[in-house]
Chain A
């Protein structure tokens, strides 16, 4: 799909209003995720303990530990990791 859009853009088949519509849905996804977060059973999750925080913390630590490895392995300037 990404490749398809790329091709359409090159040939100028995507008109500005269409582009704006796509941008709208790219932008509205953050509010939708916020709405989704607001309608989860967070209370139960808190009672469930610190699984979430521990999982996030360890994942970050492991990823940071790998930054030097990757930058050496690929021999290029490292980029800050940000997949979100």
Chain B
């Protein structure tokens, strides 16, 4: 039986990127399913998926003692490749291609103003919190501020500035907290 498992593990390790895609794909699929069926779209699937991702990273850190989350588990090393800065930046550019100008126009002036103000305020607040918690280097402060703006901006800023993985994870947490709160409480916010 163990021989059999070893053989499977060998194949999974050899094709690590494919394994990574399969594992992450399943997580995302399951998250969207849960989002749809259990929360009826109240909590977006992407947030659930990232929450699971962070949990996995935590488990990976606990079991291997490494610093690269779940990708320290040799069978799942492909997840590290999949989440590398190269693929991530490529996907971001792909997303920008998918942005339609009509969507911008539809939101009108209040949409554009709230986007700009929202990003600016979030960044400032995030940076101040980082400072208040004793982060004094510009790289960490900027990364956490960026994360408070959007969970995607934090890691992009962080990896391009050379922030530590710990700070990047913090920035993802900040952005994720924000996304979950925004999605779950926006219907109750008074608008006037």
Chain B residues, Cβ within 8 Å of A76: 108-110
Contact assessment for A32 and B95 in the assembled complex, using a CB-CB cutoff below 8 Å: no
Interface size on B, residues (CB 8 A): 97
Q: Which B residues contact A (CB, under 8 angstroms)?
A: 20-21, 24-25, 27-28, 46, 49-50, 52-54, 56-58, 60-62, 67-71, 79-80, 82-84, 87-88, 90-101, 107-111, 113-115, 117-119, 121-122, 125-126, 128-130, 133, 135, 144-145, 147-152, 155, 164-179, 181-183, 185-187, 189-192
Q: Which A residues contact B (CB, under 8 angstroms)?
A: 1-3, 5-6, 22-26, 28-46, 48-49, 51-60, 62-64, 66-68, 70-74, 76-84
Contact assessment for A26 and B94 in the assembled complex, using a CB-CB cutoff below 8 Å: yes
Residue in A1, A6, A59 whose Cβ sees the most chain B Cβ within 10 Å:
A59
Q: How far is the CB of A58 from chain B (nearest CB, A)?
A: 5
Residue in A22, A64, A84 whose Cβ sees the most chain B Cβ within 10 Å:
A84
CA distance A24 to B98 in the complex (A): 10
Chain A residues, Cβ within 8 Å of B168: 40-41
CA distance A1 to B97 in the complex (A): 7
Q: How far is the CB of A26 from chain B (nearest CB, A)?
A: 4
| From A28, A37, A62, contact of B122 by CB (8 A) | A62
- Give the dominant DSSP class at B's interface: helix
Contact assessment for A30 and B110 in the assembled complex, using a CB-CB cutoff below 8 Å: no
| From A28, A32, A42, contact of B69 by CB (8 A) | A42
Q: How far is the CB of A76 from chain B (nearest CB, A)?
A: 5
| From B109, B117, B130, B187, contact of A51 by CB (8 A) | B130
Chain B residues, Cβ within 8 Å of A84: 46, 150-152, 175, 179, 182
